[in-house]
Structure 1
Amino acid sequence: MATNRLNKLDKIFNQATNSKQIHQAVLLVENTSGDFSFNKGYGGMEVDSPMILASITKLFTTTCIFALQEQGKLSLDDQVTKYFDRTMLSGLHVYRGQENSYDLTLSELLFQTSGLPDVFEEGKASAKNRVVDEDFYINFDESVAWVKKLKPHFLPRTTKKAYYSDINFDMLGEIITKVNSSTLAEAYKQFIFEPLSLSNTYLPENEEDFVPNVYHRNKIIHRPKFIMSSGASGGCITTARELMIFIKAFFGGKLFSKDILDKLPLHNKLQASMGPIYYGSGYMRIPLSQLITMYTGKGELMGHSGSSGSFAFYYPFKDLYFVGDVNQLANASLPIRLTMKLAMMTK
């Protein structure tokens, strides 16, 4: 049975890397105990190759929020006015003439239910379009000012609505630094890197910190300034091997109590452009019994993907973890589709 599963994983990975969109890739699959393991690289990428985590970084930010909550240093019910000046917040969330900026809570940031717009994806002048052409640095205050120029999508706490936006996690990152009296990089080290002995995972802080290249279609681009400015919403670097250690710890209760995730069951479907993805307490959930799979899948994927092609998901139905990277900025659906195929084939 194990041999059959290995053959299926190998076949799916080979099919994926035959795509003209993928020039480099790496895949690592394990069960919780690690007695089942499969890994394969393509185009020079291996399990110890540096990779851009992009939005999987949000799982690190979530970990810090939960750890600080366990220490009693913050609450998900806290309003953002506890951590930010009202002048800074003013105009951030104005929906149909109503100012909602001061009513936002940490929970709404974490669950992507604030309704705030996303500067990375929205508009012709989006950060995603700009970063294809040039490398640039944008600080937190500039990100907030950029968000204020866009329109929120709904009122905070609107039932059954979620909207994926990086600013939610950028704000959580700022809150972590204030509550922990440290930089975000120091908080990551304290709550994640050191407890898990991750020596090749880091948040770039200066030009000396290595940032890998990423493909945009057939073009190789290098964007260290943008990665450094992405911080809590998407700035981390790691390897597939260390990402596997982390994702097992995240869902395994090694970094914070598993009860936290069990007590926060609320997940809402994201905007249509995000496909079949639900979002909740800092991570994605992708049910496999949906139209996209012709309702033939079982269970769900839990974890996160990144716009650079990275992915880290747990499939409880088969006790399997999928991590890796397809290193392609032009198609954010690639890692999602690959992981779904991997899960569907491991029967």
Structure 2
Amino acid sequence: MRKATARLQRLADKLTATDWHNGVAISIFDQATGAELHIGSGELDTRTPFFATHITKLFVSAIILQFVTENRLSLEDKMIDHIGYCSHCKELHVIDGVDYTDQITIRHLMSHTSGLGDFFLFKMQARSLRHSMIDGIDSSWSFEEVMQRARSHGGIAIPGESKKATYTESNYQLLGRIIENIEGKSLAEVIRDRIAGPLGLSSTYLYCDPSDHRPLNLMSRNREVYIPRAMASFQADGGVVTTAREGLIFIRAFFEGYLFDKAALPLLYDWRPLFFPARFGVGLLELQVPRWMALRHRLRMHTRHIFKRPPLCLGTVGLGNAVFLYAPDEGVYISGTANQLVDPERSVSLALRAIEEVARYGRHEVYGEKGISAQPAIGLAE
């Protein structure tokens, strides 16, 4: 893997040489060879904590599937049956005077088909929380404020009736509260006890304390932003901190059955269009980049590879250019971040380039070298 590592290291270094990146880190595991590849550049190496943001939704999905396999929850259960007493959740979803709140299911929340409004893009004086974060304006919000903003936004579709997924952060705020009610403990404790602890992830946790300076600050274009109150407010929809190496362990555990019964995975494969070129299932993203979008990073490849279909990836991509992806046809996992709040294409392009480097070039090198044997990712017993 030395040549593949060197090529990807040069690519990461090229990114951090610009004003837009204070660090880039990726970790890769190849099922065919058992080889791992770790790249770090700038202020990030593969053991440096970073904000995983929307990757948190995979953690939530894993916990929900654990509940399903433990017969403590069904995806068809009504939200109101598990949310507990919540005065702020009353009349949360109203369209044309009809209250659909009691029709929202766990499946609707996980698949972004609840029809709820999005508190994160809730416009106040022609702005949104996303705009504020990109501008480096720090703010905090509570679960009650999230529900108030979602209600003020108004219902945008009858639950489950839309043919498309409508990405709504409010859904995962509700899922986080449901998880807390079922377990009787905070979401941070649930993630520690059900995911980080069992997998031995010592640097993976839910960010709750604005005075915690361990994660590297995010970049917004050419400016480093310090928004700890906002990051501590995300919780279930974007609050996890992790490292590239530990993220690799998690994404493998998610798809290989170390966190829940692997037979439950097909429950997530109910795809709806989200935004080009992605579809969203039940708590899981499917990414299929078309050939023309991959041409830019393939120009130096052998001609037989230039027009091949890019790898299909499952996982998710987060605000801040975090990527946790599994390419099942290639048998390659990747986790990491380009740590930039804008232009998510950068991390996706980097991830696809890395997957192709390993699957089409790195394996020839590994098989041709002596002394390299298949090894599982650290922390996972085969």
TM-score strictly above 0.5:
yes
* 3-state SS of paired residue (1:39): strand
- Once the 2 structures are TM-superposed, how far is the Cα of residue 334 of structure 1 from its aligned partner? 2.7
Tell me whether 275-284 or 45-54 shows the greater mean CA deviation: 275-284
Q: Does 1:126 align with 2:138?
A: no
Deviation of residue 323 (structure 1)?
A: 1.1
Rounded to whole Å, the distance in 2 between the matches of 1:336 and 1:116 is 28
Separation of aligned partners in 2, 1:206 and 1:267: 36
Given that 2:30 and 2:333 are in contact with CA atoms closer than 8 Å, whether structure 1 keeps it comes out as yes
Partner of 2:50: 51
Give the Å deviation of 1:64. Answer: 1.1
Change (3 A) 1:142 1:290: farther
The amino acid of 1:103's aligned partner reads Q
Change (3 A) 1:327 1:192: same
RMSD over aligned Cα atoms: 2.3
Does the 8 Å CA contact 2:26/2:40 hold for their aligned counterparts?
Answer: yes
Alignment of 1:79-98 (within 5 A): 79-84=78-83, 85=85, 87-98=87-98
Percent of pairs with identical residues: 27
Match of 2:324, SS state, is: strand
Q: What is the one-letter code of the residue matched to 1:320?
A: V
**Cα distance in 2 for residues equivalent to 1:100 and 1:279:** 23
| 1:321 pairs with 2:323 | no
User: What is the aligned partner in structure 2 of residue 24 from structure 1?
Assistant: 23
Please tell me whether the aligned partners of residues 298 and 317 of structure 1 are also in contact (alpha carbons under 8 angstroms). Answer: no
CA distance in 1, matches of 2:310, 2:56: 27
> Distance between the aligned counterparts of 2:33 and 2:115, measured in 1?
40
- State the SS of the aligned residue for 2:254: helix
Tell whether 2:165 aligns with 1:153. Answer: no
Judge conservation of contact 1:104–1:156 (CA < 8 Å) in 2.
yes
User: How far apart, in 1, do the equivalents of 2:119 and 2:340 lie?
Assistant: 20
How much has 1:37 moved relative to structure 2?
Answer: 2.1
8 Å contact kept, 1:58–1:232? yes
Bigger drift between 74-83 and 336-345 goes to 336-345
Aligned position for 1:262: 266
Write out per-residue CA displacement over residues 293-312 of structure 1, whole angstroms, 9 at most, x where no aligned residue.
48842541111111012111
Q: Is the 8 A contact 1:307 1:331 kept in 2?
A: no
> What is the number of equivalent residue pairs in this alignment?
343
Q: Say whether the 8 Å CA contact 2:163–2:272 is kept in structure 1.
A: yes
C-alpha separation between the residues in 1 aligned to 2:292 and 2:109? Answer: 29
What is the alpha-carbon distance in structure 1 between the residues aligned to residue 11 and residue 28 of structure 2? 12
The correspondence for 2:320, drawn from 294, 298, 308, is 308
Give unmatched runs, 5+ long, in structure 2. Answer: 296-306, 361-382
Distance in 2 of aligned mates of 1:31 and 1:299 = 14
Residue 146 of structure 2: SS of its match in structure 1?
helix
For residues 307 and 333 of structure 1, what CA distance do their matches in structure 2 show? 11
Cα–Cα, structure 1 residues 114 and 337, in superposed 2: closer, same or farther, change >3 Å? farther
**Match for residue 192 of structure 1 among 186, 191, 195:** 195
Q: TM-score, normalised by structure 2?
A: 0.82
Q: How far 1:212 sits from its partner (Å)? A: 3.0
After superposition, the Cα gap between the structure-2 partners of 1:249 and 1:88, relative to the gap in structure 1 and judged at 3 Å, is same
Q: Give the superposition deviation at 1:121.
A: 3.5
Q: Which residue of 2 aligns with 1:251?
A: 255
**Residues 92/249 of structure 1: CA separation in 2 closer, same or farther (3 Å cut):** same
CA–CA distance in structure 2, aligned partners of residues 218 and 204 of structure 1: 24
**In structure 2, distance between residues paired with 1:121 and 1:42:** 32
Alignment match of 1:335 (pick from 315, 337, 347):
347
Q: Would the aligned equivalents of 2:52 and 2:241 in 1 still touch at CA under 8 Å?
A: yes
Shifted more, 165-174 versus 124-133: the winner is 124-133
Counterpart for residue 104 of structure 1: 104
Distance 2:3 2:57 in 1: 34
Aligned residue number for residue 299 of structure 2: none
Structure-2 separation of matches of 1:292 and 1:141:
41
Distance 2:327 2:163 in 1: 24
State the AA in 1 paired with 2:270.
L
The alpha-carbon distance between structure 1 residues 214 and 74, as it changes in their structure 2 partners (threshold 3 A), is same
Q: Show the counterpart of 2:298.
A: none
TM-score, structure 1 length as denominator? 0.90
Separation in 1, partners of 2:2, 2:48? 26
Amino acid at match of 1:29: I
3-state SS of paired residue (1:35): coil
Hey, what does 1:168 align to over in structure 2? 171
* Alpha-carbon separation, structure 2, partners of 1:72 and 1:35: 34
Q: Distance in 1 between matches of 2:293 and 2:62?
A: 31
AA at the equivalent of 1:63: A
Cα deviation, 1:103-136, whole Å, max 9, x if unaligned, reads 1000111111112232323543211112334222
Q: Which amino acid aligns with 1:126?
A: S
Contact kept? 1:261, 1:281, Cα under 8 Å? no
**How far off its partner does 1:344 sit?**
4.6
The alpha carbon displacement at 1:181 in A equals 0.7
Asked if the contact 2:75/2:107 (under 8 Å) is kept, the reply is yes
Q: Which residue of 1 aligns with 2:77?
A: 78
Supply the AA of the counterpart residue of 1:285: E
Offset, 1:315: 0.8
